[in-house]
Structure 1
């Protein structure tokens, strides 16, 4: 007759393909057969964790229920396929053995001995067998890590889920997705927010790799993924990969620096909805307090009318409240039949390229002189070619190309990278007004914040909108 009257079985497999429970089913069949052969009643006390690793401390719900049953005195023997299915790390094994010792519970293994954990000999044997299991797991982990490092050093494509922009095996670029990836990196460099980028993608019905809408965090994760620059980081070291890059290393590093900048607000949440909220200053406070936005409802005679947007002081005393639409129109307006706003007027000026110049360069005067000399040389070369009937056209083109290349190099040195990222495509556009009108709101906000300081004063009752009540101080240009 068996000494055990309250048996329980436990099965676990660490890795299983989706929907594949064959491994734990086989364990369950073998443990049930052993219980029947030994005449041990289990009466529904069967516990199973599928695809749960004990080695890495993953939560194992049924193991925890099993230990709870042991503590309640409901189990006097646990039947497992082998001891390694019950414990695979030292800490958990030590804790589990102490619980079983305290409550007088033994362990029976289909592939292994019977372990009476109430005796010193039984605990010694369990400890030795457990150390063998731990050794095998750690040795396998070392092999896997070495294999991983070798793959990284050789520049092989990472394994795992498909990366947006690449084919399933990661070796080739998907052109349509890669174009969206580049747009995202360009947008973050131009001052767009993570939420703004996600909103733009979802508005255009561009889905992520799983066929779902984008979120703030999915955009953040993607822009910080070094894989898009053809790189791979492993244990703090960056290695070059052999798959095609979608963006340059500089673009990737710039995106990471901007996203991880502590001064940048990147918390998830709705994107800004209005042009100047959090950017414009309140003139009444005089302490640098920015204005916030609100929705107000006009009323008269006890009746409510159409709602309208307002800018209010962010401070505790709401002493400033101005209608937002005319202020936004003054700054950014492109409405047909209405005067252009201040920003689009700057963009259509003949000297708009000057908005990109890096005024803080100590050698800016020298570079400006060099650029002027090269432009003068181009004019002289063109005049000389026009007057010389025997001039060689091919030689002239080559000479002009060399001068233009040198001029482009000088102009690049004169350009502020930060200004070029935010304003470059606008300044160089054939139709800057149309491009400005089509920009997402967060891009417009970044441009306004770079170009000027906007301070809102109180309006005068009964006088309508007074442009002079909005103070504009240029930051550049």
Structure 2
């Protein structure tokens, strides 16, 4: 530090909103702070800035915390310390934080020097009083502004207009007063379909309903270099693996785009709050409502997290194939004598290894059965599902869940013992799982277009043209379960009697020739 400096200055800058992360505001504040410090005999000991962080709600401000730690550090030289900022509103916006800050800085003997406001000596009672009065004004202004923003957002919601930037799939058309676009004032806006982007959204929905996985759709979009939503805009943070310009798609962005209510002309009001609601939007629909309902059902099905469709490598694992002994899922494992080259892939019980069967032979058998099923003349009737049966099963699900909850409450209140709770839970949970499975089995398939394109006389050729995820989608549309049971006979070869092929209903059992 030079001998001429009278003060040790710590510069602080903050901007509440900088969506594009340009940092122009904090850069300007720091520049003005340097100029004022030099004019007022200061030496800059540190510069701190929090960009795109609002202070009214007490959001974490990493550099503000570092500033407070710096001015509280030991001061062996005894030089007077100052905080230089554009205004006290940059330091505090809420009452709790301000009271704590004024008290702390007052005890440290800090002076606040503002480039656009007064100098406040917090060593004195009057300095602390004025800082508090200014701060209360700042908080009041913020709260009044927040009320205006809330009222405006509510009005936009009631009108069905967007609250924020235009969504992917639409373009924004601004409306001006009579002076026109060049000299007039914006008096409103409307969102219209942006055909290129809307086509991408529709393509995503169609591909997912055709049995493609989120990962496959993502890879196709990136391979074709289709710009992702927000591409070209600067952001403070990017998802892991995202390109700097935001041009790459991820599985999450594909899913969010496919299931958002905006696609069918609905907007969410007060997302995540108790009064959250879907209300009609002013923008046009870009996705058929029936397709939207089916893709939402597909992507929000809890079983997707179990079945892991994006990483599927085998036809029957995780959700279609079952162990005929304990009911567990099937997985694939290598078995046999590697010394003599006899190791082979088997479907085995995932839980206990109860059963094991040659993967290729089981797949051939299942494919023969599927082709026979897809050739049936009444195939359309097998795909429709039963809304009445689904509703009945869902009613049982709701009732059983309520009984389990009541049992838990009774135990918590001391009305029943732990042994009684175990008995109740042990009896009700299997019933609940059975009701949930039945409700799912009778729900119409979200992949109807894909399935209907594969049935008929050309079923075998069409089945062979499908990828693994699409074949699974067709099987699930028919509610197919494949149960592998222990072998009844000994010896080599594949025994079809040990594999049960079970479509949705018992009256649709099929037979097909089997080749070893």
Same fold by TM-score, threshold 0.5 exceeded?
yes
Q: Partner residue of 1:103?
A: 108
CA displacement at 1:69 relative to structure 2: 0.6
Counterpart Cα distance in 2 of 1:162 and 1:297 = 56
Counterpart Cα distance in 2 of 1:10 and 1:314 = 59
Q: Measured at CA, do residues 251 and 55 of structure 1 come closer, stay the same or move farther in structure 2, by a change above 3 Å?
A: farther
Q: Partner residue of 2:228?
A: 208
Is 1:310 aligned to residue 346 of structure 2? yes
Q: Partner residue of 1:330?
A: 365
CA displacement at 1:39 relative to structure 2: 1.7
SS of 2:13's partner is: strand
What CA RMSD, in Å, does the superposition of the two structures yield over aligned residues?
Answer: 3.6
Q: Measured at CA, do residues 208 and 295 of structure 1 come closer, stay the same or move farther in structure 2, by a change above 3 Å?
A: farther
The within-5 A match list for 1:56-95 is: 56-74=57-75, 76-95=81-100
Counterpart Cα distance in 2 of 1:141 and 1:268 = 44
Is 1:455 aligned to residue 456 of structure 2? no
Measured against aligned partners, the alpha-carbon deviations of 1:450-471 in whole angstroms (never above 9, x if no partner) come to 4332111345664222222212
For residue 329 of structure 2, the aligned residue among 284, 290, 298 is 290
Q: Is the 8 A contact 2:387 2:442 kept in 1?
A: no
Measured against aligned partners, the alpha-carbon deviations of 1:349-403 in whole angstroms (never above 9, x if no partner) come to 22222213445759xxxxxxxxxxxxxxxxxxxxxxxxxxxxxxxxxxxxxxxxx
Q: Partner residue of 2:426?
A: none
Counterpart Cα distance in 1 of 2:4 and 2:144 = 38
Counterpart Cα distance in 2 of 1:61 and 1:454 = 56
Q: Partner residue of 2:396?
A: none
Q: Partner residue of 2:278?
A: 238
Q: Is the 8 A contact 1:9 1:45 kept in 2?
A: yes
Q: Partner residue of 1:474?
A: 503
SS of 1:418's partner is: coil
CA displacement at 1:287 relative to structure 2: 2.6
Counterpart Cα distance in 1 of 2:10 and 2:251 = 47
Q: Structure 1 length normalisation: TM-score? A: 0.73
Counterpart Cα distance in 2 of 1:256 and 1:186 = 12
Is 1:356 aligned to residue 380 of structure 2? no
Q: Measured at CA, do residues 206 and 448 of structure 1 come closer, stay the same or move farther in structure 2, by a change above 3 Å?
A: farther
Q: Partner residue of 1:128?
A: 133
Q: Partner residue of 1:247?
A: 287
Q: Measured at CA, do residues 297 and 213 of structure 1 come closer, stay the same or move farther in structure 2, by a change above 3 Å?
A: farther
Is 1:218 aligned to residue 228 of structure 2? no
Q: Partner residue of 1:36?
A: 38
Q: Measured at CA, do residues 151 and 105 of structure 1 come closer, stay the same or move farther in structure 2, by a change above 3 Å?
A: same
Measured against aligned partners, the alpha-carbon deviations of 1:90-145 in whole angstroms (never above 9, x if no partner) come to 23222322321232222122222222323433222211111111111222222222
Q: How many residues are paired up?
A: 408
CA displacement at 1:178 relative to structure 2: 3.6
The within-5 A match list for 1:17-56 is: 18=20, 20-42=22-44, 44-56=45-57
Measured against aligned partners, the alpha-carbon deviations of 1:205-259 in whole angstroms (never above 9, x if no partner) come to 7663347454332233223311111111112232322322122445435544554
SS of 2:50's partner is: strand
For residue 299 of structure 1, the aligned residue among 333, 338, 352 is 338
CA displacement at 1:5 relative to structure 2: 3.4
Q: Is the 8 A contact 2:213 2:310 kept in 1?
A: no
Q: Partner residue of 1:149?
A: 154
Counterpart Cα distance in 2 of 1:4 and 1:120 = 23
- In structure 1, stretches of 5+ residues that fail to align are 333-340, 363-415
Q: Measured at CA, do residues 3 and 200 of structure 1 come closer, stay the same or move farther in structure 2, by a change above 3 Å?
A: closer
Counterpart Cα distance in 2 of 1:268 and 1:455 = 20
Q: Measured at CA, do residues 426 and 149 of structure 1 come closer, stay the same or move farther in structure 2, by a change above 3 Å?
A: same
Q: Structure 2 length normalisation: TM-score? A: 0.68
Is 1:116 aligned to residue 121 of structure 2? yes
SS of 2:377's partner is: coil
The within-5 A match list for 1:125-204 is: 125-157=130-162, 159-160=164-165, 162-163=167-168, 165-167=169-171, 171-175=191-195, 177-185=197-205, 194-195=214-215, 197-198=217-218
Is 1:427 aligned to residue 452 of structure 2? yes
The within-5 A match list for 1:345-384 is: 345-358=372-385, 361=388
Counterpart Cα distance in 2 of 1:427 and 1:26 = 63
Q: Measured at CA, do residues 27 and 255 of structure 1 come closer, stay the same or move farther in structure 2, by a change above 3 Å?
A: same
CA displacement at 1:177 relative to structure 2: 4.8
CA displacement at 1:274 relative to structure 2: 1.2
The within-5 A match list for 1:406-421 is: 418-419=443-444, 421=446
Q: Measured at CA, do residues 121 and 263 of structure 1 come closer, stay the same or move farther in structure 2, by a change above 3 Å?
A: farther
For residue 344 of structure 1, the aligned residue among 349, 368, 371 is 371
Q: Partner residue of 2:423?
A: none
Q: Measured at CA, do residues 205 and 69 of structure 1 come closer, stay the same or move farther in structure 2, by a change above 3 Å?
A: closer
Q: Partner residue of 2:15?
A: 13
